[in-house]
Structure 1
Amino acid sequence: WVVAVGNPFGLSGTVTAGIVSAIGGQGRDAQYLDFIQIDAPINRGNSGGPTFDLKGRVVGVNTAIYSTNGGSVGIGFAIPAKVAKETVRQLIENGSVTRGWLGVSIQDVTTEIAAALGRKEAKGALIAEV
């Protein structure tokens, strides 16, 4: 179980509970890879609040929700505490966060590109620019 704390819609000190639904991993959309997925209701205003485990340890920072209507549907995301801690350390020491980058632009392999390359399926990525 986890507890999410925040100020949704200006309601300060709101606490909700839920479970950890998923932790990053393969087979997930890349934009959610480094997040902890929780089903504790979080809404606008919860971002930046802590996510605690039942031992009172901060395990994440409430960050985003997946929603088709703008409200909580039980799919929330928290940045893992160790990621947030490292980000804070870099901000304090350097005034900014250093992010790795590869120096290339990629694009999806379309049906047309796959055919031009002699590929049977339109899967993967293509380095478009270096």
Structure 2
Amino acid sequence: MEHKNISLLISGVREEATIKYDSKKGTIKFAMKNGFKKMYEADDLYLCLAKIRNDFPDIVFLCKGAKINVTPSRMCSQMSGGAVAYELTLGKPATFNDIVQIFDYEESDLSTNLKDQQAFYKKWIDSLKKQAQ
């Protein structure tokens, strides 16, 4: 099991949390400084992170996996267990250069829920269709 510290914003105060993850099993053990610990399981790590964020809607997770325009492709999910995803740009097809690690630090354009990211993904798809016309 791999581990990483990630930064959080709780009521505007930066704090560190620890995640231990297994991309093959789709599990994350999430631990906060206040003693909270919980195991999350999903089809991949990206979805596990979404479950954690869903449990803590008032906490901003400062990582790429919480960025509004970051989503994994099916191939990314299958090959990395959801540890990597694409950072999408409206009107531009995703390329290898757009792949990011979901636990890497990020502080701009963050979302607190998966629904916002899914809405951006649909908007991105529509932007590609418009480019093709």
Q: Give the TM-score of the pair, scaled to structure 2.
A: 0.31
TM-score by length of 1: 0.31
> Relative contact order, CA 8 A, sep 6+: which one is greater?
2
Task: Name the structure with the higher helix share.
Answer: 2
- Compare CA radii of gyration and give the structure with the larger one: 1
